[in-house]
Structure 1
């Protein structure tokens, strides 16, 4: 299959005309109704063309960018290569850099165009598995830190502290300034931490737990995760590629599949079992994490929630995974209605394995870690994960998620919700 370069040449010219049109306008929040309509029509037209190109040529484009799938490019590297190799197909790096400096309300939404490209790749049964594997490879940062961690057993990252004790990698979320709310920094740190735990041969099992907080309301108490940082979403600091997609295709997928380390005939992936301990609450992304871990404990005064409808965004891959745990009706109540699940409720046992008194958490965690340290656990959890969520199913979901999440975070209702949250936090 070859790429229709003549079609792409026409697209490059149209992209330049669009750039000129938008450059002549003020930022989106102060445009007139006529300017907004003209910008929307031009963007819609070029996005339709980009979608048609990717529907036909995704495999050929991906093969060319990866030298016949001999090079593993992460999604940011792949987009940069596409911008250089196929002008007009995706936004330029300079455009994305300028866009990143704007508040969310003043962005043009170029991430939507990146999502169109990635949807085409992830829909391809040939390209998608290779891209998923590229995202499962260890990060350069983790490889740089690995020798020091292997020797000391400690890695102090900004939002995560990693400590190896008796074969257990303790990953402690320590963003006490924001109740472990998720942002780009946390995604990078968590992928690094997960890589370190998976790559260190002295680690048998991993533990995720929130650290003590300094927030006045929760001072001294452990908190698992407050979900996406809406204040940073409002300010334009929650990027599609480096946060929303890297999170799902990077460290969360590695928690399921493991890290790709080679081409051994046994398995190219190195995976290990994981325990989560939920103190106080696991909101949004925190609750999503629990769906991929092997044993979940919750303090009896904790709760879980997926406030997607309130925030206006898609709750990661929870729409794919949650029904396996709860059934379709409760999943709809949680995702569409925002129903919280308190650990004391019977329904909580669909989402967590143990509910214990807060003062008994440490002992219960120790017992769970010991159980998952058995030699037969890793292979059995691998087979369970393959049975429950096949990679092709995950790729198809992520193809649609990439586009729909990009559309949502640039929609007026999400921007308004995030801005209102930021104002409330600023006044507090």
Structure 2
């Protein structure tokens, strides 16, 4: 458990909790702690799904500008690998993930939310990639993940202008998947995550690998490559106990009654 990032586990749902006053600015320490916590969440057998959460007031206002302001090109050229690594670690959690967005999710904060499988936003949340206003561009995956999510034209418009998007517009453009009252958004995210507790963990991981892996080659993906990845993940599950249990239960008792063990 880090100073500013911790993994809280309750009933099979893990919450990766950002807690760096006042606005959860993502400095290098927070980024490294996110890598460690993402690895822990991925490996723990008692975590079926994961919520990303910054607290009741703010998700994350972005990278720590004060830390970066005086960096030279040579220093940033090295540091930029960490920017990519911590978001890759979050995206690489092989379990269902959901971002519970309250307050602001800006710059690096939005890039954290973009690594989740789905995003739930408070009705008063503000989202955006305002890096252009600092004379830079998103560097922790925003240009890539945002374009894959909302399309290249909308991603360019948001990144070029740096404007903030309200929850309703974010829902309309597909940037978030659900909008809830601010007091409810975290509970709704946990409720969504809880449906995967005692679920087919190996199949869920395989589905995530197949979907995300196919997109690595571009916003539209390569169909033939994606189909081959799907085929391998599909066939590989026939080595698992869960596949045998799931199909036997279906034959004997009908759908939806299998008991999975994650092996």
Q: Is the 8 A contact 1:198 1:272 kept in 2?
A: yes
5 Å matches for 1:356-371? 356-371=180-195
Equivalent residue runs for 1:380-395 within 5 Å: 380-390=207-217
Matched, 1:222 2:86: no
TM-score scaled by length of structure 1: 0.47
Aligned residue for 2:4? 159
1:246 to 75, 82, 86: 82
Q: How large is the Cα RMSD of the aligned pairs? A: 2.5
Instruction: After TM superposition, give the deviation of residue 379 of structure 1 in Å.
Output: 1.8
Q: How does 1:402-421 map to 2 (within 5 A)?
A: none
Cα offset for 1:229?
1.1
Which residue number corresponds to residue 312 of structure 1? Answer: 135
Alignment partners' CA distance in 2, 1:386 and 1:359: 35
Residue equivalent to 1:321: 145
Once the two structures are TM-superposed, the CA of residue 290 in structure 1 deviates from its matched residue by: 2.2
Per-residue deviation, residues 310-364 of structure 1 (Å, max 9, x unmatched): 1122202222222222222211111111122100226555111110011222331
Task: Give the whole-Å Cα distance in 1 for the aligned partners of 2:40 and 2:78.
Answer: 20
> 1:380–1:324: structure 2 CA closer, same or farther, 3 Å change rule?
same
More helix by share: 1
Whether 1:293 and 2:116 are equivalent positions in the alignment is yes
1:232 aligns with 2:67: yes
What is the match of residue 246 of structure 2? none
Q: Which runs of 5+ in 1 are unaligned?
A: 1-154, 212-220, 259-270, 394-428
**Inter-partner Cα distance in structure 2 for 1:359 and 1:280:** 11
Cα 1:243–1:190 change in 2 (3 A) is: farther
- Indicate yes or no: 2:205 matched with 1:378: yes
CA drift of 1:242 comes to: 6.3
Structure 1 segment 161-310 matched on structure 2, within 5 A: 161-177=6-22, 179-211=23-55, 221-236=56-71, 239-240=75-76, 243-248=79-84, 250-258=85-93, 271-310=94-133
Question: Whose Rg is larger?
Answer: 1
Aligned 8 A contact 2:150 2:173 in 1: no
Cα distance in 2 for partners of 1:237, 1:228 equals 16
